[in-house]
């Protein structure tokens, strides 16, 4: 990292709040940043590949182990029977086998692991899985709606209710109902799933794992092998992306690599290729949502009911908290007086779906945005006017600032933020210009939409909102930091280093953040739910603050001055009118036998949640934002293009504006891909995922970035006592992409004759050209005069 900046005559500038580069940027661009597969392989390293089920559901009769052992380079074949401990994973419900036993639950489920002297030989041996696995096919359930009708769920159904929504809807002046189809999304991290397990003395294991949750990997490996957690060390220096896909689902790969390493006494690496990664792991939950609302002449909602059916896949994984967050974000930015929400996590014979950026929140909030869009069209109003009419109030006296689950919205800055975005984006004029354009253009249509975001920050489960850190000061004045968060490209380590440097009053180049390691900080939570900087920044600040206080107390006592006259600043120690360099201050403290390392801890205050009544305060605060997007639509082909986006997003008092803007940009584009092009498709008979590689699954590329794109931060400090009054930025920006879908709906609606009543827009996600053409056909059919 480059030296920390300074201002002539003013010393070192405060690091927090500066747009500093990512701490590993120079390593990334020079190819020196090491990921798990870049680690030098120990002599004798073996390689594992997985053989997976060729059917979606079946009774497992056995495998031809002898044929597998006869393959070139194969040294071992392992099945569920070879696991000495528990053959179960699962972050909440232990219902997900490491290797299939008894039955297979989806096409792609690992049945055996083959170990070979070379990765290519292991893959070649595993490729004959369909020929060596003996399985009796059973009927498969492949869609969430089918599972719902059969009552097949991975967890009990959920209910979030306030008031009498049915009565409110029945009494409302206007009513609408519909179904929103929301597809899943592949995480498509650049670095695939990988684990490298090395045997240690006395049955110990060290596992290098690309994971967002090293502590969970440690626990599950120990559980599978019948070891104590203190015998398993999991380390993660960095990941090449995670997006939730490496929160729980890295467990299978860590456990299999560790099993092979323990059985054979050799280092073992398991790196799956992209096709196998797609076929084995889950992704963002697809949802089908049946909804019904009642509203008045201004579009203000009076009652809302919805049935959320998610495709959980074959096991529970994180489906329960994903559904909880979806239900808790159905309101998005809007007050709902009467609500009746039901959540059903459907069990299907497909990959077990898991965490993905937003963790159910985007699916819930998207439905509300589509509803308000339809309400506005039904009333002939601008959708922005209807959105504003339904926003949470900033006046507690009117009672419109409490969420359906009982949390008070205390710091609602959305009205001001939206007003500023309307002005800066020229929304009103563009709305008028687009209407003029569409009247004169029979084939190509333009669409415009502004959508807001209110996103709750914290883990759903209160006890997960804790973090620990270690900070060491060496006698040469350098600082080493270790914390429980994982770095996946988002800049967490950079922000933590800035926080520590600020607390110690030193130049940032002194501070180094090391790999996440379960032997250093124990019992950590996953780096997820946008809590990485909030939790680990506070924990590191706590440790650094303790060290700063020790240094100040030591020198105050030594110099015989009031501690108030001693402070760490400008890369040194100021004692009254005397200044020591930081090296001198530390060296003197060491001679004085001052402890120069400290642990730190943080637990988010004030959180509580009753999962039975689905009420409480699950979120420490809310992050806000809004986006205006404009699209161009070819109504003959269904092809579309985002031509402009203006974003104004709330990150509180930013720790690092450069990193935060990068996260906003990345989140928006990832969400735009989900909204428009990232389509998952399973064969309706076999249950095989057909979109399982870059050749068939398309993510946004550089050419898809809006040619006119403006991203700005709404710089208002967080009302809650977060780290330096900043706000989380990982997940909320993804929801800004809703503006693209709503703009497409706007363009589709322009195909309806002005002389006829507006229709509801039935546009599924992703809004591929095919999906858009279906929506256009619906609009044209609805407006075709009956003979």
Give the residue numbers annotated as catalytic, written as ranges: 731
C-alpha to C-alpha distance for 529 and 456, rounded to whole angstroms: 9
C-alpha to C-alpha distance for 209 and 339, rounded to whole angstroms: 43
* Torsion, CA 359, CA 362, CA 367, CA 373, rounded to 10: 170
Going edge to edge, which strands form the sheet with 479-483? 511-513, 479-483, 466-473, 597-603
C-alpha to C-alpha distance for 529 and 465, rounded to whole angstroms: 10
C-alpha to C-alpha distance for 277 and 271, rounded to whole angstroms: 9
Q: Please give the angle made by the CA atoms of 113, 98 and 205, to the nearest 5 degrees.
A: 80
- Check if the beta carbon of residue 53 is closer than 8 Å to that of residue 131: no
| E strand or H helix at 202 | none
- Check if the beta carbon of residue 328 is closer than 8 Å to that of residue 454: no
* Torsion, CA 17, CA 247, CA 734, CA 649, rounded to 10: -20
3-state secondary structure (DSSP) of residue 552:
helix
C-alpha to C-alpha distance for 197 and 209, rounded to whole angstroms: 8
Taking the alpha carbons of 250, 253, 258, 259 in that order, is the dihedral positive or negative? positive
Among 118, 119, 130, CA closest to 68: 130
C-alpha to C-alpha distance for 744 and 767, rounded to whole angstroms: 8
C-alpha to C-alpha distance for 406 and 390, rounded to whole angstroms: 18
DSSP 8-state secondary structure symbol assigned to residue 96: B
- Check if the beta carbon of residue 674 is closer than 8 Å to that of residue 765: yes
* Torsion, CA 165, CA 170, CA 172, CA 174, rounded to 10: 110
3-state secondary structure (DSSP) of residue 745:
helix
Question: Distance between alpha carbon 778 and the CA centroid of its chain, in Å?
Answer: 34
C-alpha to C-alpha distance for 162 and 160, rounded to whole angstroms: 7
Main-chain dihedrals φ then ψ at residue 320, nearest 5 degrees = -65, -55
C-alpha to C-alpha distance for 268 and 726, rounded to whole angstroms: 42
Among 84, 58, 53, CA closest to 136: 58
Q: Please give the angle made by the CA atoms of 91, 95 and 101, to the nearest 5 degrees.
A: 130
Among 79, 71, 75, CA closest to 125: 71
């Amino acid at each position: 990292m480059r030296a920390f900046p300074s201002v002539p005559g003013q010393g070192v500038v405060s690091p927090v709040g500066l747009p500093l580069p990512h701490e590993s940027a120079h390593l990334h661009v020079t190819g020196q940043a090491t990921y798990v597969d870049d680690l030098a392989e120990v002599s004798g390293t073996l390689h594992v590949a997985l053989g997976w089920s060729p059917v979606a559901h079946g009774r497992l009769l056995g495998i031809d182990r002898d044929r597998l052992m006869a393959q070139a380079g194969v040294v071992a074949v392992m099945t569920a029977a070879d696991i000495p401990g528990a053959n179960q994973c699962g972050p909440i419900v232990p219902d997900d086998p490491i290797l299939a036993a008894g039955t297979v639950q989806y096409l792609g489920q690992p049945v055996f692991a083959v170990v070979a002297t070379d990765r290519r030989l292991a893959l070649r041996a595993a490729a004959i899985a369909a020929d060596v696995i003996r399985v009796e096919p059973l009927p498969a359930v492949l869609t969430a709606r089918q599972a719902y009708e059969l009552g097949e769920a991975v967890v009990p159904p959920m209910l979030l209710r306030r008031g009498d929504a049915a009565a409110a809807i029945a009494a409302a002046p206007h009513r609408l109902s519909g179904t929103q189809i929301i597809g899943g999304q592949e995480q498509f991290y650049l670095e695939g799933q990988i684990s490298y397990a090395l045997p240690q003395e006395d049955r110990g294991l060290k596992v290098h794992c690309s994971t967002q949750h090293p502590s969970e990997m440690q626990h599950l490996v120990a559980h599978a092998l019948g070891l104590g957690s203190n015998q398993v060390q999991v380390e993660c220096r960095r990941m090449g992306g995670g997006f939730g896909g490496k929160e729980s689902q890295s467990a299978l790969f860590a456990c299999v690599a560790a099993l092979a390493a323990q059985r054979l006494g050799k280092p073992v690496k398991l790196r799956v290729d992209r096709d196998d990664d797609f076929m084995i792991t889950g992704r963002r939950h697809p949802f089908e949502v049946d909804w019904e609302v009642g509203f008045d002449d201004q579009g203000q909602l009076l009652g809302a009911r919805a049935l959320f059916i998610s495709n959980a896949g074959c096991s529970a994984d994180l489906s329960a908290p994903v559904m909880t967050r979806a239900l808790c974000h159905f309101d998005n930015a809007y007050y709902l007086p009467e609500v009746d929400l039901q959540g059903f996590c459907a069990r299907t014979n497909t990959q077990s779906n898991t965490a993905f950026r937003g963790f159910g929140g985007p699916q819930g909030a998207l439905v509300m945005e589509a509803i308000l869009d339809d309400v506005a069209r039904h009333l002939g109003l601008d959708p922005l006017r209807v959105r504003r009419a339904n926003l949470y109030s900033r006046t507690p006296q009117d009672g419109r600032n409490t969420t359906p689950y009982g949390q008070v919205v205390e710091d609602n800055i959305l009205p001001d933020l939206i007003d500023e975005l309307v002005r800066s984006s020229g929304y009103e004029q563009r709305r008028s210009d687009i209407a003029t354009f569409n009247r004169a253009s029979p084939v190509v249509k333009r669409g415009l939409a502004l959508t807001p975001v209110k996103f709750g920050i914290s883990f759903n489960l209160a006890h997960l909102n804790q973090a620990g850190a270690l900070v060491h000061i060496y006698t040469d004045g350098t600082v080493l930091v270790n914390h429980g968060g994982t770095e996946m490209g988002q800049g967490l380590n950079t922000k933590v280093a800035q926080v520590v440097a600020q607390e110690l009053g030193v130049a940032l180049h002194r501070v180094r953040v090391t790999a996440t390691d379960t032997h250093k900080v124990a019992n950590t939570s996953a780096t997820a739910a946008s809590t990485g900087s909030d939790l680990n920044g506070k924990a590191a600040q706590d440790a650094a603050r303790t060290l700063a206080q020790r240094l100040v107390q030591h020198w105050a006592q030594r110099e015989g001055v009031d501690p108030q006259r001693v402070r760490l600043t400008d890369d040194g120690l100021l004692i009254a009118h005397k200044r020591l360099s930081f090296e001198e201050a530390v060296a003197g403290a060491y001679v004085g036998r001052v402890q120069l390392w400290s642990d730190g801890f943080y637990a988010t205050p004030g959180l509580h949640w009753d999962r039975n009544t689905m009420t409480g305060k699950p979120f420490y605060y809310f992050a806000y934002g809004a986006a205006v997007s404009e699209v161009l639509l070819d109504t003959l082909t269904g092809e579309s293009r985002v031509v402009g986006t203006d974003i104004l997003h709330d990150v509180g008092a930013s720790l690092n504006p450069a990193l935060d803007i990068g996260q906003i940009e990345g989140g928006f584009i990832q969400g735009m891909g989900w909204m428009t092009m990232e389509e998952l498709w399973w064969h309706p008979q076999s249950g095989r995922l057909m979109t399982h590689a870059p050749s068939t699954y398309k993510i946004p590329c550089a050419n898809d970035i809006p040619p006119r794109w403006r991203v700005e931060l709404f710089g208002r400090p967080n009302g809650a006592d977060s780290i330096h009054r900043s706000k989380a930025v990982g997940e909320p920006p993804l929801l800004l992409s809703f503006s693209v879908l709503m703009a497409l709906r706007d363009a589709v609606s322009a195909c309806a004759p002005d002389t006829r009543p507006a229709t509801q827009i039935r546009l599924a996600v992703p809004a591929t050209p095919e999906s858009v053409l279906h929506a256009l056909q619906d609009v044209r059919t609805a407006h075709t005069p009956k003979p």
